[in-house]
Amino acid sequence: QVQLVESGGGLVQAGGSLRLSCAASISIFSFTAMGWYRQAPGKQRELVATITSSGTTNYADSAKGRFTISRDNAKNTVNLQMNSLKPEDTAVYYCNTKTIVTDYWGKGTLVTVSS
């Protein structure tokens, strides 16, 4: 069974930075893609950033230039460095990993950005 453990969420001032990390219980080579999604109160879950097994990255327009997704193969983690945070970034952030047939999700970590 795959487990995803997220860390790094918290409260930060606008303009500040946070680094989210998602540790997988198995080798990340098992996944075709990994990424981060977020869900704000009353909103649908949306893509923030993804990285494929080949290293291709994809970002939501709102994240481009501010967020960076990366992998640490040795630690079986996917990370999201978030800079220049805005209040509208406030949401629960979810780690996602994909195989060809199955998605795995973390339980989410709350990011709150104050004005």
Q: Are 23 and 92 in contact, with CB atoms under 8 Å apart?
A: no
Distance CA 115, CA 39 (A): 19
The per-residue pLDDT for 1 is 77
Q: What share of the chain is helix, strand, coil (3-state, %, to 5)?
A: 10, 55, 40
DSSP type of residue 6: E
Q: In the beta sheet, which residues pair with residue 97?
A: 34, 104
Helix (H) or strand (E) holding 91: strand 91-98
The per-residue pLDDT for 28 is 84
Instruction: Tell me the pLDDT of the chain (115 aa) as tens digits.
Output: 799 999 999 999 999 999 999 999 988 888 999 999 999 999 999 999 999 999 999 999 999 999 999 999 999 999 999 999 999 999 999 999 999 889 999 999 999 999 9
> 3-state DSSP call for residue 31?
coil
